[in-house]
Amino acid sequence: MTTRLYHHPIFAEHLTGLGHPERPDRMGAVEKALSDERFDRLERVLAPEATIEAVYRAHPEQHVRRIAKAAPPSGTVRIEADTVMSPKSFSAAFHAVGAACAGVDDVVEGRADNVFVASRPPGHHATRETAMGFCLFNAAAIAARHAQEVHGLERVAIVDWDVHHGNGTQDIFWTDPSVLYASTHEMPLYPGTGERSETGAGNIVNAPLLAGDGGEAFRAAFRDVVIPALDTFRPDLVIVSAGFDAHHLDPLAHLQLEEGDFDWATGQLLAIADRHARGRLVSLLEGGYDLLGLERSAAAHVARLMAG
């Protein structure tokens, strides 16, 4: 089993200001987790920068230009209530997208069985035309389009277990039955979307959880809602929006997951990929704001990817 890790120093140069939860220290937590000797077999690759054409597959040119112009020459600037940019933010976001697309290339072309992209800023709140919720560009959505338009895959599944609903990914694929979006998340919580009744073209599957829910409820949502939808859809590729802010230590939400729950969910998705997608799975870091919770959860997730 070959697992590739995409990383880059630029991800720590996306500065968000004192007290912001989506901070460079998150990269340090992931790096610490994956520095253990049990991860020596990881193939570590520097994230490439995305092409502009790749980003245009999910975002219009005007959105990309607007974000490019928003980056300040120095310091930081808040471009909406929660989203901050610094001089290197645009480049960091393009490298995050580039790594996601390179990960798709790897699993389709046989260089890796699966991939984990340790990047920031996250992406799943970015709608087609709006940056929000710490997110500038939607790497998961762009990677799905890359798989379809570059490699000719017909059906791509995006599974999102971040504690916050990925409204951006849902928005981008709302009318597109060739992409399945399945999400577990806390409700009510930011951004206010993710009701079970939100089904798009029959390709949106939301399994909201309640504040205080733990591993039992999370696993039941996977078993009863997410896994059956994936088996029915039969994806050619599985993309994971792997947020770890449903961990019980996380300060931004109220779910009570343990790192073992992420280990278990990773195993479930690897089994789906084996059944339907020739094992092809690409995982992208989204949220996770308690550093210890992030460290432990990322370690559990990547260890499971490596074990298969």
Residue 107 in 3-state DSSP? helix
* Token digits of residue 71: 């980056």
Residue among 59, 63, 124, 125 flagged as catalytic? 125
If we measure between CA atoms, which residue out of 188, 69, 184, 60 comes closest to residue 126?
A: 60
3-state secondary structure 169-238: HHHHCCCCCCEEEEEEEECCCCCCCCCCCCCCCCCEEEEEECCCCEHHHHHHHHHHHHHHHHHHHCCCEE
125 is catalytic: yes
The helix or strand, by DSSP H or E, that contains position 6, with its residue range, turns out to be: strand 3-7
Regarding beta strands 43-46 and 114-117, do their DSSP bridges make them parallel or antiparallel, or are they unpaired?
unpaired
Q: Give the neighbor-by-neighbor strand order of the sheet with 156-160.
A: 43-46, 3-7, 114-117, 281-285, 237-242, 156-160, 179-186, 204-209
Q: Which of the residues are catalytic?
A: 125
